[in-house]
Amino acid sequence: MAPRKPLTLDPSLSAQVDVAVSHLSRSGVVAIPTDTLYGLAASAVDPKAVARVFVIKGRPGGMAMPVLLADPQDIDLYATDVSEVARELANRFWPGPLSLVVTRSEAIPDAATAGRDTVALRVPDHPVPREIARRLGAPITGTSANPSRQPAATTAAKVREQLGAAVDLVIDAGESPIGEGSTILDVTGPALIALRVGAVSIADISAATGMPVALP
């Protein structure tokens, strides 16, 4: 697995991260910047907090919640039976905009996966979500910070416009660098299946693995 990427936060953002962690440790929900889009962060191991995310978004209950990790090494805490190709992809694209659907470990509750035995994990290439997860000591939800079926937000101002006071805190770190959702890749079976094509191209995934990528 790739070595830990150093994180740097200016004092203002670091202070906001501390406030965010305080909220999340009490089943709170905060809107945070990531490398792709602004997201709704709650402790992914706190069913009460995850339920709040569903309510805030108006997200259908049968939809699983993506989960963000602090470091690539954390995959073994929250996934089981991780294949060699999954590790290759994590080593190549983490931190970055690729979500890997893997078999979840018992550390991830049903609330975050809608009862499925799989979970979409990602290590974002942005210091705020990774430092929140690190200081919280738990992975966080990473669904986009907008009402379901509405345009995704790439700025804190857009989050406030769409969600108002529904969240406990909005961390403003400027515009999202990528401005596009992550690619979601199912790596639980013998074939690679792209459930959503986003910021990482199918060609890049095939080049990294030497395998074709199927669409559902």
- For the cut 70, the answer to whether the pLDDT of residue 142 exceeds it is yes
What value does the mean pLDDT of the chain take?
95
Per the CB < 8 A criterion, the answer to whether 214 and 191 are in contact is yes
Q: Which residue has the tokens 């907090």?
A: 49
* Domain count of the fold of the chain: 1
Alpha-carbon Rg for the chain in angstroms: 16
20 sits in which H/E element: helix 11-24
pLDDT digits (tens, 9 = 90+) for 168-190: 999 999 999 999 999 999 999 99
Helix (H) or strand (E) holding 101: strand 98-104
pLDDT digits (tens, 9 = 90+) for 31-69: 999 999 999 999 999 999 999 999 999 988 888 999 999
Q: Does any domain span residue 53?
A: yes
Q: Is residue 5 part of a domain?
A: no
Question: Which of residues 137 and 62 earns the better pLDDT score?
Answer: 137
Counting beta carbons within 10 angstroms of the beta carbon of residue 171, is it exposed (0 to 12), middle (13 to 18) or buried (19 or more)?
buried
SS3 80: strand
- Average pLDDT (208-212) is 97
The residues, any chain, with a CB within 8 Å of residue 137's CB and separated by 6 or more, are none
Residue 123 resides in a domain: yes
Three-state SS annotation for 158-213: HHHHHHCCCCCEECCCCCCCCCCCCEEEECCCCCEEEEECCCCCHHHHHHHHCCCE
Q: Is residue 3 part of a domain?
A: no
Residue 46 lies in a domain: yes
Report whether 141 contacts 42 (CB < 8 A).
yes
Q: Which pLDDT score is estimated for 5?
A: 47
Longest dimension (CA), the chain: 47
CA nearest to 72, candidates 52, 92, 58, 54: 92
What pLDDT is stored for residue 3 in this prediction?
42
pLDDT confidence of residue 8: 77
Span between the terminal Cα atoms of the chain, in Å: 28
Q: What is the DSSP letter of 134?
A: H
- pLDDT number for residue 57: 95
3-state DSSP call for residue 214? strand
> Is residue 194, in this structure, part of any structural domain at all?
yes
Give mean pLDDT, residues 191-197.
97
Percent of the chain with pLDDT over 90: 91
Examine the pLDDT at 4 and tell me if it is beyond 70.
no
1 found inside a domain = no
Amino acid 10: pLDDT:
87
**pLDDT value at position 62?**
83
Query: Which residues span the domain enclosing 108?
Result: 11-214
**pLDDT in the model for residue 216:** 83
pLDDT at residue 208, rounded to an integer? 96
Residue 6, domain member (yes or no) = no
| CB contact at 8 A, 39 and 145 | yes
pLDDT reading at 97 higher than 50: yes
Asked whether the predicted pLDDT for residue 93 surpasses 80, the reply is yes
**CATH of residue 177:** 3.90.870.10
